[in-house]
Structure 1
Amino acid sequence: MTAAVSLEGLSVVYDDFRALDTASVDVEAGESFGLVGESGSGKSTLLRAIAGLAPVSAGTIRVEGRELRGARRDKAFYRAVQMVFQDPYGSLHPRQTIDRQLVEPLAIHGIGDGERRILKALDEVGLGSGFRFRYPHQLSGGQRQRVAIARALILEPSILLLDEPTSALDASVQAEVLNLLEQVRRDRKLTFLMVSHDLGVVTHMCERLAVMQGGRVVERLTSTDLVAGRIAEDYTRNLMVASKGFRRKSA
């Protein structure tokens, strides 16, 4: 079976800083795959490289078997791959209604049936039509992130890149958004590539994960192995201790 996303020897360099260093990851179709590591480990850079937002200096990116090169000018790529960013306050235009922000991707891709798609997308993320003509400042953080998810879903992609999608939200709202994402993945049979610094979130959402340090993938394991402590690298053990939801067992 062809992997939904396959990265081989991927490097990203900014001036003299190597943000990503020969990283390789394979994500199967329909899988939820996690990327974890401390700040600056390269996990968000990896997502941005796939989306065409970071300069790739070496390596290959394949999405659904097709190798990607240079800028993402092909609209078909963005029909298949959408990204949800960390900050719902920064990812929505403050002076445009929710309706306008959902119409825009449909207009860019020349997709009709906008009325049905907008209502379906809002309903799917638990907002409903009453939110259509509100502005972002009239919504809570959790509601804004739901709009961002709706905007990603409206093109009916097969792959979602999720960059810390709940870290800017209150703890009580985080669980709601994570449950929403999990439901959407099941219903639409989506592939997720999810970045998080929180190992508790990753073990809840993902079947497999890669641990990143200094731009490199230092360990690959299943969520089951992580929870059971079947870990090879001390770095991963230290992440477990540092992450909320994990505590050392007393002797």
Structure 2
Amino acid sequence: MTSALSIKDMLVSFDDYVALRNVSLEVVKGESFGIVGESGSGKSTLLRAVAGLATFQQGRLAVNGRDYSGRRRDKEFYRTVQMVFQDPYGSLHPRQTVDRLLLEPLAIHGIADTEARIVRALDEVGLGPSFRFHYSHQLSGGQRQRIAIARALIVEPQILLLDEPTSALDASIQAEILNLLEQARRDRNLTFVMVSHDLGVISHMCERLAVMRNGEVVEGLSSADLANRKVSEDYTKRLLVASEGFVR
């Protein structure tokens, strides 16, 4: 099986605080991989370190076999790896129209045929061309997150980093966004790395997952093991109990 994302012994520290301690993960091409843990466990920091938004002081990062340890990300990296953030309100520029928000990454990467790509991207996330000249403040939270997903998909990435992509949305909208993401993964053969505090979301979306605590991976398991409570760590068992809506 071919590796899409390989992380070996990653260390991230901020002054005297160690946010990630010797984290290692292997994500296979085409799979959806989940990362769970309580607040402050290092989940989002890990995604940000992969995306180049946080610096890792030690360790190795490889994407599709290409090593990015200790080097700046290039355009190829940012076209291959895209990230969708938790907050659809903060991730979109308030003074840019949807059209401009979608045109910008195409311009950065020198991608032509912009008109057709923008129309396709909006259609893929369930929004019509009438949304092109709306500003983000004119959109609902769910619509904003759809635009954020469209902006990530429009450059045709291979890996999507998803940082709690539905936690800021109403419960009625969450399932729609998750279904949209899963459809995009199937259609495009994408690799997902999804962070969530919600074990129900992870068990639904992901084949495998890592459990993080205090900046370390304490357990790795399949979603089937999670659903059947076949976990070894007491910490994971406590997460199961605490995960609202997961335990019946």
> Scaled by the length of structure 1, what TM-score is found?
0.97
Q: Which runs of 4+ in 1 moved over 4 A?
A: none
Q: Which runs of 5+ in 1 are unaligned?
A: none
Q: Which residue of 2 aligns with 1:103?
A: 103
Distance 1:225 1:73 in 2: 36
Between stretches 160-169 and 63-72, larger displacement belongs to: 63-72
Counting only pairs closer than 5 Å after superposition, residues 1-251 of structure 1 correspond to structure 2 as 1-70=1-70, 72-247=72-247
> Aligned AA for 2:62?
R
Q: Is 1:84–1:148's contact at 8 Å kept on the other side of the alignment?
A: yes
Distance 1:74 1:140 in 2: 33
Distance 2:199 2:161 in 1: 17
Distance 1:175 1:72 in 2: 36
Aligned-pair identity (%): 71
Q: Is 1:52–1:71's contact at 8 Å kept on the other side of the alignment?
A: no
Q: Which runs of 5+ in 2 are unaligned?
A: none
> Scaled by the length of structure 2, what TM-score is found?
0.98
Secondary structure of the residue aligned to 2:219 is: strand
Distance 2:87 2:41 in 1: 19
Shift of 1:71: 5.3
Shift of 1:244: 1.5
Secondary structure of the residue aligned to 1:7 is: strand
Distance 2:196 2:9 in 1: 22
Q: Deviations over 1:218-250 (max 9, x none)?
A: 0000000001010000000100111112236xx
Instruction: Give the 3 Å change call, closer, same or farther, for CA 103–71 of structure 1 in structure 2.
Output: farther
Q: Is 1:51–1:72's contact at 8 Å kept on the other side of the alignment?
A: no
The aligned length equals 248
Q: Deviations over 1:97-136 (max 9, x none)?
A: 0000000001111111000000000000000101000000
Q: Deviations over 1:132-154 (max 9, x none)?
A: 00000110000000000000000
Distance 1:198 1:21 in 2: 23
